[in-house]
A and B are shown apart, each in its own frame.
Chain A
Amino acid sequence: MTKTQNNKAWWLVVPVLLLVAFNAFIPLLTVVNYAFQETFGNNIFFWEGTTWFEQVLRSSRFHDSLIRQLIFTGMILAIEVPLGIGVALTMPRKGPWVSVCLVLMALPLLIPWNVVGAMWNIFALPEIGLLGHTLNSWGIDYNFTRQPVSAWMTTVIMDVWHWTSLIVLLCYAGLSSIPDDYYQAAHIDGASRWAIFRYIQLPKMKRVLTIAILLRFMDSFMIYTEPFVLTGGGPGNTTTFLSIDLVKVALGQFDLGPAAAMSLIYFLVVLLICWAFYTIMMRNEEQ
């Protein structure tokens, strides 16, 4: 269907445009400004061209945190997506338990990031934390402030705990939109549980799943607060992800130029991966 044209409607968009300009566009331009210049304060700038970009792209520190970031995001997606789909499939579709399950699922999403970090920090403390103490009492040597493996494991599990619900809820919405007729037809056709999932549920979930994966990718790629509160990027640099590294460069060392260049590269990487993923998914849709 077509929509009626009404030119007055454009005026209603103005407040949003102003808001976006102030909180996104202008800061972004400031970053761009810093990325190509050097400053020593007092608003005195020297043109540096692409120096900062070259420096960032060549630095092994950036490479390391980018690789760490990619591994982290890959790991949490590999765990959260199948787990989320699995939980969504087992959730009841009718009856009084539906709302109970939905509220339980939504709970982790309601907790602020820094609180999640703090919670897990205490939970995992080797001496007094429930998790840390239990593991150690079983004879497993676990200490997330000293061992890289423990730190990684804790960060990944924390993220899974915090965000799997989002995938569950989105998938559940996708599953709820499938009419009963489809399941009945599949039973009639003698389809196995796997075939029902593969040919009915997965195709119908595809759109929401695409959105869920995009959201989780972007969010996890930009993760900051939780690991910062939990591990502070340590031990050593082992859990220093891109955004933590960026803050260290920008605020710890006050290297505004390289930090700005790094932000832009970071931004472009996220944009590129999202675009590629979305295009591939949608191309399949059209065939």
Chain B
Amino acid sequence: MAIELKNVTFRVGAEKQIYNTSLALQPGEFNILLGETLSGKTTLMRLMAGLEKPTSGEIWANGNNVTGLAVQKRSVAMVYQFFINYPSFTVYDNIASPLKVAGMSKQEIDEKVRRFADLLKLTPELNRLPRELSGGQKQRTALARALVKGADLVLLDEPLANLDYKLREELRDELPKLFADTGATVVYATSEPLEALMLGGYTATLKEGRVVEFGKTASIYRRPATLESARVFSDPPINTATIVKQGKEANLGNVVSWDVPEKLTAQPDGEYHIALRPHHLLPAGAGVEVEGEVQIAEIGGSESIIRVKVDGNIWVSQTHGIHSFEYGEKASFYFNANECLYFDQDGKLIDL
């Protein structure tokens, strides 16, 4: 289904929850809404589903204006962060429920329920009640119910947030496969950048009720149009600083200077913002060298995450291997000037 929001705003009382938003989702694809809690992900989904009516603006589906059309009259399925199933129904009846409502024949229902239960590895659980299931199985049941309906628009509101880390990893791997053949437009809300990258598709970065940017997930990650978008799409937080450009040279405080890329040379002199992904700032190597004071070094199994104070900014270096530092130690870190993202004063990306 092609869903389009046209100049939609939404407010509750005096509080604006969604600022003027226009967004055309990619039909038949995974569309990810990425943003912190309260950035408006859930509200946008409720608007798309028809659970809320926009304060102003229109919502179009397949070329028809559906603003204000009740949710029952739309082909929509939704899965929530909390596992919502009918508590007194078995898994089988839970999955069958939307089909029964649609008035399908028993035989047809049985065939569909079994097919989707198989797909979601729920076959052994079909006769159990939700309270007898693990968290992962509960959410699989909810997903099966959304899938079996064959809805044109499937809304998934942080469906994996309450699952164990490893389960999340597995289910995240399966999800795109599950929806690949259905042709449904999927909207997936998440607050985790890595999850967005794993799911691929298209991503809208959200900040405080505004869509900052929408486009292919990988390209938004690599070339975010604004500094805001880069910040939303980074975990650990992206390293930022203000530099002063003079001719060919960029100066970061009194700490370090380097030659800017050629295209930036043509831009007027003055202040610019830079952003550098944590894994592009390394404790060893070549390129621009910055010295900083180490705040803390966290050592994971195969990588180290080092927080370092550079010219008053807290920067993060995320790197393979084990690098131990003492608290307050002065150390050098390196980055490649070409991996920096440069933004103008208004936070717009300078195309290089």
State whether B12 touches A5 (Cβ < 8 A). Answer: no
Chain B interface category by residue count: under 10
Let me know if A43 is at the binding interface, CB within 8 A. Answer: no
Interface string of A4-16 (1 = CB under 8 A from B): 1100000000000
Residues of B with C-beta under 8 A to A4: 51-53, 71
Chain A minimum-CB-distance residue to B13:
A2
Chain A minimum-CB-distance residue to B11:
A2
Q: Which of B43-94 contact A (CB under 8 A)?
A: 51-53, 71
Chain A interface category by residue count: under 10
Distance between Cα atoms of A2 and B47 in the complex (Å): 12
Distance between Cα atoms of A2 and B71 in the complex (Å): 15
Chain B minimum-CB-distance residue to A2:
B12
Q: Which of A1-43 contact B (CB under 8 A)?
A: 2, 4-5
Interface of B is mostly: loop
Distance between Cα atoms of A2 and B52 in the complex (Å): 8
Q: Which of A202-237 contact B (CB under 8 A)?
A: none
Distance between Cα atoms of A2 and B12 in the complex (Å): 7
Q: Which of B320-345 contact A (CB under 8 A)?
A: none
Interface string of B1-17 (1 = CB under 8 A from A): 00000000000100000
Residues of A with C-beta under 8 A to B51: 4
Residues of A with C-beta under 8 A to B12: 2
Chain A minimum-CB-distance residue to B68:
A5
Distance between Cα atoms of A2 and B17 in the complex (Å): 11
Interface string of A109-126 (1 = CB under 8 A from B): 000000000000000000
Distance between Cα atoms of A4 and B69 in the complex (Å): 12
Nearest chain A CB to B283 CB, angstrom units = 40
Residues of A with C-beta under 8 A to B53: 4-5
Distance between Cα atoms of A107 and B53 in the complex (Å): 49
Distance between Cα atoms of A10 and B53 in the complex (Å): 18
Distance between Cα atoms of A2 and B13 in the complex (Å): 10
Distance between Cα atoms of A2 and B42 in the complex (Å): 12
Chain A minimum-CB-distance residue to B17:
A2
Nearest chain B CB to A24 CB, angstrom units = 32
Distance between Cα atoms of A181 and B71 in the complex (Å): 40
Chain A minimum-CB-distance residue to B12:
A2
Residues of B with C-beta under 8 A to A2: 12, 52
Distance between Cα atoms of A39 and B53 in the complex (Å): 57
Distance between Cα atoms of A4 and B52 in the complex (Å): 6
Distance between Cα atoms of A121 and B12 in the complex (Å): 58
Residues of B with C-beta under 8 A to A5: 53
Nearest chain A CB to B189 CB, angstrom units = 15
Residues of A with C-beta under 8 A to B71: 4
Q: Which of B243-300 contact A (CB under 8 A)?
A: none
Distance between Cα atoms of A2 and B43 in the complex (Å): 10
Q: Which of B23-53 contact A (CB under 8 A)?
A: 51-53
Distance between Cα atoms of A5 and B51 in the complex (Å): 9
Distance between Cα atoms of A4 and B71 in the complex (Å): 10
Nearest chain B CB to A15 CB, angstrom units = 24
Distance between Cα atoms of A208 and B51 in the complex (Å): 33
Distance between Cα atoms of A189 and B89 in the complex (Å): 44
Chain B minimum-CB-distance residue to A4:
B51
Nearest chain A CB to B69 CB, angstrom units = 12
Distance between Cα atoms of A4 and B43 in the complex (Å): 12
Distance between Cα atoms of A39 and B61 in the complex (Å): 70
Distance between Cα atoms of A5 and B52 in the complex (Å): 8
Distance between Cα atoms of A4 and B53 in the complex (Å): 8
Distance between Cα atoms of A2 and B51 in the complex (Å): 10
Chain A minimum-CB-distance residue to B43:
A2
Distance between Cα atoms of A83 and B305 in the complex (Å): 58
Nearest chain A CB to B260 CB, angstrom units = 48
Nearest chain B CB to A8 CB, angstrom units = 11
Distance between Cα atoms of A160 and B127 in the complex (Å): 51
Nearest chain A CB to B272 CB, angstrom units = 41
Distance between Cα atoms of A5 and B12 in the complex (Å): 12
Nearest chain B CB to A7 CB, angstrom units = 12
Nearest chain B CB to A48 CB, angstrom units = 47
Distance between Cα atoms of A4 and B12 in the complex (Å): 11
Nearest chain B CB to A21 CB, angstrom units = 31
Nearest chain A CB to B71 CB, angstrom units = 8
Nearest chain A CB to B55 CB, angstrom units = 11
Nearest chain A CB to B306 CB, angstrom units = 34
Distance between Cα atoms of A4 and B51 in the complex (Å): 6
Nearest chain A CB to B307 CB, angstrom units = 30
Residues of A with C-beta under 8 A to B52: 2, 4
Nearest chain B CB to A35 CB, angstrom units = 41
Nearest chain A CB to B51 CB, angstrom units = 6
Distance between Cα atoms of A2 and B18 in the complex (Å): 13
Nearest chain A CB to B119 CB, angstrom units = 32
Chain B minimum-CB-distance residue to A6:
B70
Distance between Cα atoms of A8 and B123 in the complex (Å): 42
Nearest chain B CB to A190 CB, angstrom units = 32
Nearest chain A CB to B42 CB, angstrom units = 9
Nearest chain A CB to B213 CB, angstrom units = 27
Q: Which of A177-207 contact B (CB under 8 A)?
A: none
Chain A minimum-CB-distance residue to B50:
A4
Distance between Cα atoms of A2 and B16 in the complex (Å): 13
Distance between Cα atoms of A13 and B349 in the complex (Å): 56
Chain B minimum-CB-distance residue to A5:
B53
Distance between Cα atoms of A5 and B68 in the complex (Å): 10
Distance between Cα atoms of A5 and B53 in the complex (Å): 8
Chain A minimum-CB-distance residue to B71:
A4
Nearest chain A CB to B11 CB, angstrom units = 10
5 closest A-B pairs by CB = A2-B12, A4-B51, A2-B52, A4-B52, A5-B53
User: Which residues from chain B sit less than 8 Å from chain A, CB to CB?
Assistant: 12, 51-53, 71
Q: Provide a sorted-by-A list of 7 A–B residue pairs whose CB atoms are within 8 angstroms.
A: A2-B12, A2-B52, A4-B51, A4-B52, A4-B53, A4-B71, A5-B53
